[in-house]
Amino acid sequence: MRIGELAAKVGVSTHVLRAWESRYGLLRPVRSAGGYRLYGHEDERRVREVVALRSQGVSAVEASRRVLAADRNGSGTDDAGSVGGGSATGGAMERVAGAAEAAEHAAGGGAGTASADRAARDLAPAGMRTDPPMLVAQLLDAVTALDEDRAHAVLDTAFTERSVESAIIDVLLPLFVRVGEMWELGRIGIAQEHFASSLVRRRLGALSLTWGVGTGPVAVLACPPGEFHDIVLLSFGVLLARAGWRVRYLGPDTPVHSLAAAARLTSADAVVLACRRPSGFRAHAGALRRLGEEHPVWLAGRGATPRVLEEIAVNHLGADLVADVAELTRTARARRSDRGEHGNMAVAGGDASAAAAGRTDAAAEPPSG
């Protein structure tokens, strides 16, 4: 059933149901073929149990905690259980939950859905639930606990409530910055880092399924030999495709002669190579320089230092992925127009920048290419 139907059945507003879903993971909708969130009987049961506890004066966060813990344990309640399971006590979910509880008290403290409604309104005025730092914190918490379900629920929220551009740039990439920091501090391990990478790669993979089709310009994307950090490159591919490009993704650890062959085979309008280490580019300086004479070549990532760029004499893409898409598009247009080719340039008006401006809007339809 859709959320409105569930709300009518259980007597809780859709606003509060959404808050319980995103904050506490109480609801676990599945997607219909048309992309709608559909709720089942188990969701209804959990909401009814929370409502019953609320009528006994239990706060929403505590009620959700008990219901989810009972679900995990098969029966009974578990007052000590943490929301969503795992070892994330003290994490963002707990902080969010604490804030929710505080707001609920501030809003009158009484049991019942009216106060929950009020609390949700007070606590989550427009955008709080979809606020990127909050989504990043929730994702990090789910990753720390290796909680796949919860991580997907947060990712669902990020991608449904924000544009794809914003979900990637404001949520996914900052997640990796945080994962790196937490890993350096010894607060998460390699398991979490791999878990986060695999989770996000699968999400981006789903977004990449149609990036090869159309008639737009062609970009070949790769990392040089020995480089496996490709999440940002993959993200960039998704953004390029949304701006009308056709993407040929060779991914990590690509031999440079294979990259050159691929660029030739596809008559690439852009070749993008990403690497964290300058040596990853330098080791292939001659081959990259030659490739740059045939196709526009762009180096990206931390390895693309001024010295490397000077030595190899190709273009540079900085950390602003939206501006980078626009730059590639401008260059491809100019190149095709120099060659007198006009018909095949079905790129979205350069409008990665439009996408940037509308990052918090609903995702724009990708250009038909």
**Contact positions toward ligand B12, by CB under 6 A?**
173, 176-177, 179-180, 183-184, 193-194, 197, 226-233, 236, 272, 274, 276, 300-302, 317, 319, 321, 324
We find the least distance from the C-beta atom of residue 183 to ligand B12, in angstroms, to be 6
Q: How far is the CB of 251 from ligand B12 (least distance, A)?
A: 9
The amino acid present at 260, given as its one-letter code, is A
Minimum distance of ligand B12 from residue 186's CB (angstroms): 11
CB count within 10 Å of CB 322 equals 22
Closer to ligand B12 at the Cβ: 109 or 318? 318
Nearer to ligand B12, 196 or 348 (CB): 196
Min dist CB 83 to ligand B12, Å, is 25
Nearer to ligand B12, 274 or 356 (CB): 274
The token pair at 274 is 């990403």
Report how far apart, in Å, the C-alpha atoms of 173 and of each of 129, 204, 361, 366 are.
Answer: 18, 12, 19, 21
- Nearest distance, CB of residue 298 and ligand B12, angstroms: 7
* Closer to ligand B12 by Cβ: residue 165 or 324: 324
Q: Please report how close the Cβ of residue 244 comes to ligand B12 at its closest, in angstroms.
A: 17
Alpha helices in the chain (DSSP H): 3-10, 14-19, 41-55, 60-73, 92-106, 113-123, 132-144, 148-161, 164-166, 173-184, 190-207, 231-242, 256-265, 278-282, 285-294, 306-312, 321-338, 352-357
Sheet holding 246-251, edge to edge: 246-251, 218-222, 270-274, 297-300, 315-317
Residue closer to ligand B12, measured from CB, 179 or 314: 179
The dihedral over CA atoms of 338, 341, 344, 350, expressed in degrees to the nearest 10, equals 20
Residue with tokens 């340039």: 345
SS3 at position 56: coil
> Which of 142/179 has CB closer to ligand B12?
179
Cβ at position 64, least distance to ligand B12 in Å:
31
Q: Are strands 246-251 and 270-274 parallel, antiparallel or unpaired?
A: unpaired
Amino acid present at 289:
R
The whole-angstrom separation of Cα 274 and Cα 259 is: 12
State the nearest-atom distance from the C-beta of 237 to ligand B12, in Å.
8
Minimum separation from the CB atom of position 322 to ligand B12 (A): 10
Select 121 or 302, whichever has its Cβ closest to ligand B12: 302
Quote the CA–CA distance of 48 and 17 in Å, as a whole number: 11
CA dist., res. 64 & res. 20, Å (int): 8
Straight-line distance from the first to the last Cα atom of the chain, in angstroms, rounded to the nearest whole number: 35
Which tokens sit at 354? 């439009």
Instruction: Indicate the residue among 60 and 173 with the shorter CB distance to ligand B12.
Output: 173
DSSP reduced 3-state for 222: strand
- Which one, of 340, 218, 237, 220, lies nearest residue 272 by Cα? 220
The closest residue (CB) to ligand B12 is: 180
Given the complex with ligand B12, which of 212 and 226 has the nearer CB atom? 226
